[in-house]
Structure 1
Amino acid sequence: MNAPVPAPGKPRHWRPTPLVGGAAAVHAGALAALAVSPATWPWAAGGVIASHLALTAAGLWPRSTLLGHNWTTLPASASARIAITIDDGPDPEVTPRVLDLLDAHRARATFFCIGERARRHPRIVEAIVARGHAVENHSQRHRHNFSLLGPGGLRREIEAAQSTLGEIAGTRPLFFRAPAGLRNPFLEPVLCGLGLHLASWTRRGFDTRTGHAALVARRLLHGLAARDILLVHDGHAARDANGAPVVLAALDTVLRAAAGRELETVTLRGAIAPMLR
């Protein structure tokens, strides 16, 4: 369950989690021990290494809240609704077809867009908004070493995407999703300063790796319940044996199943609308 936090959109005070605070205490304790007795260095080094391993493990777990607040499900007020989140676009071939599919199901989705791709395809971003969906921040360049960046690098990457997407979409993003979901302890303070909330997912289809739409759909539908956040991709989409992006058939199956279970779709910002009043 997500702990109560201020609504996104405005800078907030950063408070370290117990894991982050504990790691800082270990570092301080190691330095103090070395100052008093240099011979304790093996124990000091061991403690520091162990704390780094714990922080790294938390950063490699996309749904973890050990490094800071993380939306893994919708708030309780979302009731019988789910969120479809779509990453890595916009893509000039796939995104328009995804939009048509969403229209056919009268569904709403949240597109986590890459700033550089949005700059190359601004009309697609405008169409996403015009057709009732939300555009959120997925970094400016989707760098593979994103989780290795320091505070300055993270801020520049995220701020650039905020500026790009805000300019094109007409509304600045409220949510951020890290590339591949990987992050480090410096990310949460940066997000707090920018008024962004981290959002991951309840389950994902691995549709950038799997070329079988039925398997992708089964992963997304297994245990599907109200307030779930589902992850698929319009960018970097895997293709089936006929060359079609698997996201199309998989998403069609998921939306039909959700309707059969009387689950409506909502954007992330739509789900938290009561918090923004």
Structure 2
Amino acid sequence: MNGAHLLHYAWFAVRGVQALRPRPGRGRLGPVFGVEGHAVALTVDDGPHPDWTPPLLDLLARHGVRATFFLIGDRVRERPDLARRIAGEGHALGNHSMTHPHPFAALAPAALEAEIAGTQEAIERATGVRPRLFRAPSGNWSPRVLRAAAGHGLTPVDWTVNPSDWRAPGTERIARALDRSRAGHIMLCHDGGGDRSQTVAALAHVLPRLRARGLTFATPPGRG
């Protein structure tokens, strides 16, 4: 097993520890795993999607929640209007690669650079905003991925609460997982890659409950 694979599996253990004691990452290149204060961060991957991004944005607006959308470059090129809407409604934009390839850490250096640089260009062209945050597809980190992100001034962001909503396990199961979020946690959800109606429905239940517990919503911190 090479160093990239060892680091990838090590993040699973780190996520478990951070779920118990979430704090922003402190390593020079390592991912951020938490937010400060009595806040949680809602992060949304794999969009924008014409069916699921608009209702999710409507929901977030109703509850006054600011999220971080990790966008796929090809999907931004297809729907720049949705990327502009996300930015215009005050949400943070993150880079989630151009095509979401698997395994991301196994890409050749030139392909890795193209995935990150192309997404930076696509998002900035569509919205006028240059992302400062990056999430590797499937959290597939490696030393080379981390260095490539740093080369673009991007802060890598991981997560501490994963409801596996991409599997569409049911609204109740997604909601139960998200309900376990507490101060400092980064929640992982999706608005692309499939039918995300369960995710939107689960968040409709969870967001007011988190608010009722006194939690606020923040975006993961950049290091730049």
**TM-score for both structures, normalised by structure 2:** 0.87
Structure 2 residue matching 1:189: 3-state secondary structure? helix
- Cα 1:154–1:67 change in 2 (3 A) is farther
Structure 2 residue 32 is the aligned partner of structure 1 residue 71: yes
Displacement of 1:184 in angstroms is 2.5
Residues 67 and 184, structure 1, Cα contact 8 Å, conserved in 2: no
How far did 1:62 drift? 4.4
- Alignment map for 1:32-71 (pairs within 5 Å): 52=2, 55-62=4-11, 64=14, 68-71=29-32
AA partner of residue 69 (structure 1): G
Flag structure 1 segments of 5+ consecutive residues without an equivalent: 1-48, 240-244
1:110 maps to 2:62: no
Q: 2:145 aligns with which of 184, 187, 208?
A: 187
* Pairing of 1:260-271 with structure 2 (within 5 A): 260-268=212-220, 271=221
Where do 4+ consecutive residues of structure 1 move more than 6 Å? Answer: none
Q: Could you tell me how far 1:60 is from its partner in structure 2?
A: 3.6
Query: Residues of 1 paired with 2:169 and 2:160: CA distance?
Result: 21
Q: Which amino acid aligns with 1:229?
A: I
Name the CA distance, whole Å, in 2 between partners of 1:182 and 1:79. 28
Distance 1:128 1:204 in 2: 22
Aligned residue for 2:17? none
Cα deviations by residue, 1:201-221 (Å, 9 ceiling, x for unpaired): 011111111331110111122
The alignment status of 1:250 with 2:202, answered yes or no, reads: yes
Q: How many Å apart are 1:101 and its aligned residue?
A: 0.3
Q: Kindly, what percent of the aligned residue pairs are identical?
A: 35
Higher RCO by CA contacts (8 Å cutoff, separation 6 or greater)? 2
Q: How big is the shift at 1:179?
A: 0.7
| Partner residue, 1:27 | none
Distance 2:4 2:169 in 1: 33
CA contact (8 A) 2:96 2:136 kept: yes
Q: Highest Rg: 1 or 2? A: 1
1:114-139 alpha-carbon deviations (Å, 9 max, x no partner): 00000000000111011111111000
Distance 1:221 1:260 in 2: 12
Q: How many residues align?
A: 212
Unaligned runs of 5+ in 2: 15-24
- Report deviation, 1:147: 2.0
Partner secondary structure for residue 167 of structure 2 = coil
1:253 aligned partner, one-letter code: H
C-alpha deviations, 1:67-96, integer Å up to 9, x for none?
A: 94111111xxx3111110000000001000
1:230 alignment partner, SS class:
strand
The aligned counterpart of 2:87 is 129
Q: Is the 8 A contact 1:79 1:226 kept in 2?
A: yes
Q: Alpha-carbon deviation of 1:168?
A: 1.1
Q: Aligned-residue CA RMSD in angstroms?
A: 2.1
